[in-house]
A and B are shown apart, each in its own frame.
Chain A
């Protein structure tokens, strides 16, 4: 059944109400700590003592339409947040939440009505804060391999005796934020360290093309050899795909397709993805982890929508069973796994629903959103916010509300119910900016980092390649105005000619790397739970 605009509007208001219940509870009871503790109505520092929930929630405020609060908090953060603190911070979490949150807020600040500097988006106070935070993380990358430590002290750098073992995602989840930072500021060090880490990680894959779960960044040895798409490794694959999209980088996508081939060969079973031994390919854990639910949404970005939809329906059936996704779900038994029964209000399945609804228009994905609103609101709402579910079997609650609830879960829910939100812009509107004020910006195509902070690829182009493009255009025009006798040789250099479309005998057409296949005829019929085999 379809959803009327009235129903969509009702659920947008529900999601907005949920956000402010949590957000105001944080401001009243927990600020300036990192996280709200909703059962005891106080706060705690978790990831680094910089009011993390406030930074993480900043762009959600704008997406919900609250410009004044966005402006107030953006100004407040400039006055209060200090990264020169003696704190051991997670390199991964600080990057995706703090650097990502500040970059996103910077890129959206003009839309929020803030007075931006003349060179925006290539300069600005929030951008400088993001750069400051990222520089505090750079010491972690000074390893023989280029793969970063998992933890770094923001004041003193990497502590002596810091363990060199970190999870795979902790190595491969920097290319979006760090390349954005490099291209906006002009300092290439950030993108360089991120790429070096990715290359080092790429060289460590097994003979069957899989990577493990934890690695020693000094020796490149795999410490945990379970391979899958879930906890510890998930955002590595996500960043290969999204990095390829945002940077138009073929190498990153080629890496992903190599992994994807192995993942489909060894881990995929009946539209589930199992955990296997990275060298042998044998099943080590027939388990669905809730973090894996991001995978269908990512698949839709490269056109693998049929496979994405089938996996999504598997994951959705788990939600139907429990009212949330437990950390681990035993596929053979169809039930939770001991000591892994919690649901910390993770966003991943809702994220996939947002992507797949945008791709297909299928109301099944809106239905998941409705399920999520009803479940979270009825199970987790307490007087001081929303508490994580300690056990999905009986809905016991724990005393924690992670910042990703405001940054991701609420944001993806709202975007799912708001198809006309500016973040869904398909290029029908834009604004101008840049050093000369003639860059096209905010034209859609936002790339979400793994913490749902949107990054505008047009801004990266504006601050890094606009000058070069302008010179090229001028050269083209100047050469165009030259005598015509010089043009025939240039015509021969161009590949665009009718003959180039024809294939030589025996030649098989290869798709360009940075492209998506058009959908088969059966995609039109795949709606409301109906799925089709890949060969039909």
Chain B
């Protein structure tokens, strides 16, 4: 209890020391008193204090053109939705960070589309609201769109203003009207996937089939939140014949790699769902979009397992046309088209020939293009053109024209022709994917993109071979694809690494992908290399071990203690390891004879030191062969190590010196203390003598007073004898005389004892009697 009282007093002192907090505390107390009343009233039990959930408040600002139903009034939202052509319902939870982020995006879109779209926001978390009772959302926010009475269309794309606006505009106008043949042509060429419906409006105000087609477009948007499929309507018969539509209420699916299709009404019912399913089943995609996922997803793995993939990261705004997108799509289309062509195509390449001073243009048929280089070995030195039968390509003919003149064909022709239909001529087929660079920045950076992604970043990933390649800024996309597709691809595996750290004089040198070969394979230095990663617990507890080792070898220019974070730096195949931490030693002049630190040995400073020393120096037999040149080098390292040890010993000696000085100081203090104590002793002795003298004086004074008292007693006795009669009447005097008599007896007894023991004092008594008589 006392401890608590003391602690509370201390707390009060602390509070006094913090005046601003005290003021705040007073305010807090007042607020608390105010809050306690409602809290107390709501408590069902005395001991347990429970606060109900905070009542909901507006989520959107009042000026935003979004109607905020923050009490979860779902019926109100349903009623309002039926009054508008297009409505967006934004279901949110006020505590949800994703809802908070989406809020500003929804506001931006609402500001731009308020005149044609109704925006409603519903708090679907408030547990007393209808929305919470009726719906079971597993995450927030949820965005539903309604087109008149059709809906909901759940939006599953990125919750960003540009993507959201693009999608809403598609819902507002699910069909594009194509009045002319030119418009039809533009529609089919500009969009990757187009669907055209033909309906004759002259026969009725609004054909039933048209409504079905309209609904099928909306159905498709439920599953195609990227909006890759575009739906258009044609009402003119002449325009419809441009896509082979002659019958009313027919639907045409345009395809470029395969034959285009017409909806088979004979086999399927003409319903919105059936049309939508048919379109999504048969649509072809030259380029696929990869969208960010909202939860755990295996979708990227599923795509990459289909084969090598070319990923293009590019800036993308779905509201505007994208030229880069069109270019990449054109290349992808060229790559995948032309497979069915029966006409043989020539693949020409210009190569220098050592045998002659000119160049040769070598042309082969498509099927033997891959053997082009091997065939050149059989060329003979000649200045004329001829055709030869190649024994390696029985089905093809080789045409060689050698001379001093320039080649007839340009590189562009050769390159352009080379990827046309390449998909069928190569057994390393590529699939093409698009990714929004802004949304997928982390993935792009991991694959080697640097800095901002203002230009396309293109990479090929081969999951099975565990390799990926990056298109260099100076390269072309066609060349990149061509180089990947040929056997013995000249493309090199891309190594992504960290940026080089600042070259401070650190004890352990940090190695990256870029600096690995330069540092580790330095023929002038032994290198002790630690493979580690920041996430591995067994690596990070070794930090102090390697720092200590670096200190031991500090100043040794023949040895580098280095480490490489393999979690962030790709290495060439031959330098990769399978477990962390791993330590390798690369001896200078013999880098290929690298040695691995034994796995069953603890990584301690002594063990690592022993490992380094064992593999730094040469064996005695090698030393004899190499002569005396190696001796100084070995001595240099020993000098360095001994120097480090000498410094440590010097520090130890210095510490001992300090300890000795401290002990010496303490001894000095003790000596001075001893001397002071001696002086103090002398003082005490002299004081003792003075006290002894005073004792003697006091004894003398005591004896004198004793004698005076005896004399007084005698005189009083005389008075008593003279006044015996008066004594009878005065009791007090009697008592006094009795006391005096007793005192006299006691004094007499003492005098007798004194006389018995000291005869020298008898003379003093006689002198006293003499004085009494004289007085």
Contact = CB atoms under 8 A, between A and B. Distances in A.
B611 A427 contact: no
A396 B535 contact: no
A301 interface: yes
Nearest to B447: A524
Nearest to B438: A1
Interface in B559-573: 565-567
Given A28-B25, A518-B578, A528-B443, A80 B297 contact: no
Contact of B446 (A399, A497, A500, A527): A527
Interface stretch (A101-109, A187-195, A203-211, A469-477): A469-477
A300 interface: yes
A160 interface: no
Contacts, number: 325
A497 to B, nearest CB: 7
B547 A443 contact: yes
Interface string A454-476: 00011001000100011011101
Given A472-B606, A500-B596, A28 B97 contact: no
A512 interface: yes
Given A39-B39, A39-B49, A518-B576, 19 more contacts: A39-B51, A82-B3, A301-B536, A382-B51, A397-B50, A427-B546, A441-B544, A484-B620, A485-B620, A496-B611, A516-B580, A517-B579, A524-B496, A525-B446, A529-B292, A529-B293, A530-B297, A531-B296, A531-B301
B46 to A, nearest CB: 12
A399 B48 contact: yes
A281 interface: no
5 shortest interchain CB distances as A-B pairs = A427-B543, A359-B535, A445-B540, A495-B598, A313-B296
A323 B95 contact: yes
Given A518-B576, A532-B298, A533-B301, A246 B541 contact: yes
Contacts of B32: 41, 383-384
Interface residues of B, number: 125
A506 B642 CA distance: 45
A494 B54 contact: no
Interface residues of A, number: 125
Contacts of B404: none
B296 A529 contact: yes
B48 A32 contact: no
B95 A426 contact: no
Interface in B1-30: 3-4, 6-8, 10-11, 14-15, 21, 25, 28-29
Given A37-B49, A320-B139, A511 B579 contact: yes
B538 A476 contact: no
Given A305-B535, A313-B295, A518-B576, A477 B620 contact: no
A536 B535 contact: no
Interface in B636-681: 638, 641-642, 645, 648, 651-652, 655
Contact of A519 (B15, B567, B609, B642): B567
B541 A358 contact: no
20 contacts: A1-B292, A28-B21, A28-B28, A320-B140, A334-B138, A359-B535, A367-B97, A375-B96, A394-B127, A396-B50, A428-B506, A430-B543, A445-B544, A496-B585, A496-B597, A501-B596, A517-B578, A520-B466, A524-B447, A530-B301
Interface string A98-133: 000000000000000000000000000000000000
Interface in A8-29: 24, 27-28
Contacts of B48: 398-399
B539 interface: yes
Given A303-B580, A313-B296, A461-B544, A436 B537 contact: no
Contacts of B51: 39, 382, 387, 396-399
Contacts of B605: 469, 473
Contacts of B641: 477, 480
A390 to B, nearest CB: 6
B442 A527 contact: yes
B39 to A, nearest CB: 6
Contacts of A514: 538
A379 B466 contact: no
A511 to B, nearest CB: 5
Interface string B440-479: 1111001100000000000001010011100000000000
Contacts of A474: 645
Interface of B: 3-4, 6-8, 10-11, 14-15, 21, 25, 28-29, 31-32, 35-36, 39, 48-54, 93-98, 100, 125, 127, 137-140, 292-301, 304-305, 438-443, 446-447, 461, 463, 466-468, 496, 506, 508, 510, 533-544, 546-548, 551-552, 565-567, 576-582, 585, 593-602, 604-606, 609-611, 613-615, 619-620, 623, 638, 641-642, 645, 648, 651-652, 655
A334 B295 CA distance: 15
A374 to B, nearest CB: 4
Contacts of B438: 1
Contact of A390 (B50, B300, B441): B50
A476 B579 contact: no
B16 to A, nearest CB: 13
A516 B538 contact: yes
A393 interface: yes
Given A426-B540, A427-B546, A500-B598, A476 B610 contact: yes
B638 A481 contact: yes
A218 to B, nearest CB: 34
A242 interface: yes
Contacts of A367: 97
Given A359-B535, A374-B100, A515 B581 contact: yes
Contacts of A375: 95-97
B4 A32 contact: yes
Nearest to B602: A248
B53 A395 contact: yes
Contacts of A496: 585, 595-598, 611, 614-615
B441 A1 contact: yes
A528 B442 contact: yes
A245 interface: yes
A463 B224 CA distance: 64
Nearest to B594: A498
Contact of A518 (B441, B542, B577): B577
Given A428-B506, A522-B463, A529-B297, A359 B541 contact: no
A163 interface: no
A522 B580 CA distance: 18
A157 interface: no
A374 B95 contact: yes
Given A469-B605, A515-B579, A445 B542 contact: yes
Contacts of B645: 473-474, 477
Contacts of B543: 425-427, 430, 443-445, 458
B442 A362 contact: yes
Contacts of B567: 359, 519
Contacts of B535: 300-301, 303, 305, 355, 358-360, 516
Contacts of A465: 604
Contacts of A314: 296
Given A390-B50, A495-B601, A440 B548 contact: yes
Nearest to B539: A516
Contact of B53 (A394, A443, A519): A394
Contact of B580 (A390, A436, A518): A518
Contacts of A515: 536, 538, 579-582
A338 interface: no
Contacts of A76: 10
A317 B137 CA distance: 11
A526 to B, nearest CB: 8
Contacts of A32: 4, 7-8, 11
Interface in A277-327: 300-303, 305, 310, 313-314, 316-317, 320-321, 323
Contacts of B49: 37, 39-40, 398-399
Given A39-B49, A359-B534, A480-B641, A317 B547 contact: no
